[in-house]
């Protein structure tokens, strides 16, 4: 079975300890052909592909630019796994990674509506309206903090459909328009420091900078992957 590349948008100018441990977790538990960092490549990273991009917009625009750059790069596999630099794979995964969704967009919207009315929620609503207008009256959300298998052609079609939106929910647009289905999963992002903020048996975890640096979840991840992996250069560990 052909292994797929991992595509990881990375923002500029940070030490990115989360990326270090994410790479260790992918090397240990996520079958793949090659890792590609799109955007910034920290100087300590080794043995990865790198596609530099200009990062002059919002974080949403920059990640859209990164995904488009991955789609257009001929050396990246036509089917790739889209990751963030704070996705940790805590248990071995199959070569064909399952697809997960977060449930109906309406339920995710209700959750975020209790937390404010910022750009993310606006983008969620505009993406929902886009999908409803394209014939998907009750779309699913794919905005989970877990790796997502992506086909280049399908993601490109989603980006084109939503190119007029400044905060396109790319995963959701792709998942719905490409009809990928999948299995429901509650989101695994760990926002707080405490020991009860996460499931220690979870196969996937994601963190905030604070919960990774100072929380029980960060200590749990660091204990799980104490050894440097092939993606860390000598003398930079």
pTM of the model: 0.95
Q: What's the Cα-to-Cα distance from 139 to each of 130, 133, 171, rounded to whole Å?
A: 10, 11, 12
pLDDT at residue 13, as a whole number: 79
pLDDT at res. 5 = 98
Domain ranges across the chain: 5-98+144-171+187-224
Q: Does residue 101 contact residue 140 with C-beta atoms inside 8 Å?
A: yes
pLDDT band, very low/low/confident/very high, at 15 (cuts 50, 70, 90): confident
- What are the two backbone dihedrals, phi and then psi, of residue 114, each rounded to the nearest 5 degrees? -80, -5
pLDDT band at 1, cuts 50/70/90?
low
pLDDT digits (tens, 9 = 90+) for 57-113: 999 999 999 999 999 999 999 999 999 999 999 999 999 999 999 999 999 999 999
Q: What is the pLDDT of residues 184-235, one digit of tens each?
A: 999 999 999 999 999 999 999 999 999 999 999 999 999 999 999 999 986 4
Mean predicted lDDT score pLDDT of the chain: 95
């Amino acid at each position: 079975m052909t292994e797929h590349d991992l595509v990881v948008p990375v923002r500029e100018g940070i030490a990115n300890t989360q990326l270090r441990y994410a790479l260790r977790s992918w090397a240990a538990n996520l079958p793949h052909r090659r890792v590609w960092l799109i955007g910034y490549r920290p100087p300590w990273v080794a043995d990865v592909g790198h596609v530099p991009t200009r990062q002059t917009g919002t974080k949403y625009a920059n990640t859209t630019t990164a995904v488009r750059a991955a789609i257009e790069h001929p050396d990246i596999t036509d089917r790739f796994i889209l990751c963030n630099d704070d996705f940790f794979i805590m248990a071995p995964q199959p070569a064909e990674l399952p697809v997960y969704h977060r449930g109906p967009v309406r339920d995710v919207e209700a959750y975020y509506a209790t937390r404010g009315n910022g750009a993310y929620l606006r983008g969620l609503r505009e993406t929902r309206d886009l999908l409803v207008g394209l014939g998907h009256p009750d779309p699913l959300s794919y905005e989970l903090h877990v790796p997502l298998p992506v086909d280049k052609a399908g993601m490109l079609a989603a980006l084109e459909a939503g190119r007029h939106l400044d905060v396109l929910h790319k995963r959701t647009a792709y998942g719905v328009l490409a009809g990928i289905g999948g299995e429901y999963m509650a989101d695994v992002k760990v926002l707080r420091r405490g020991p009860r903020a996460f499931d220690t048996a979870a196969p996937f975890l994601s963190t905030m900078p604070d919960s990774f640096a100072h929380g029980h979840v960060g200590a749990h991840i660091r204990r799980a992957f104490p050894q440097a992996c092939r993606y860390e250069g000598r003398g930079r560990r």
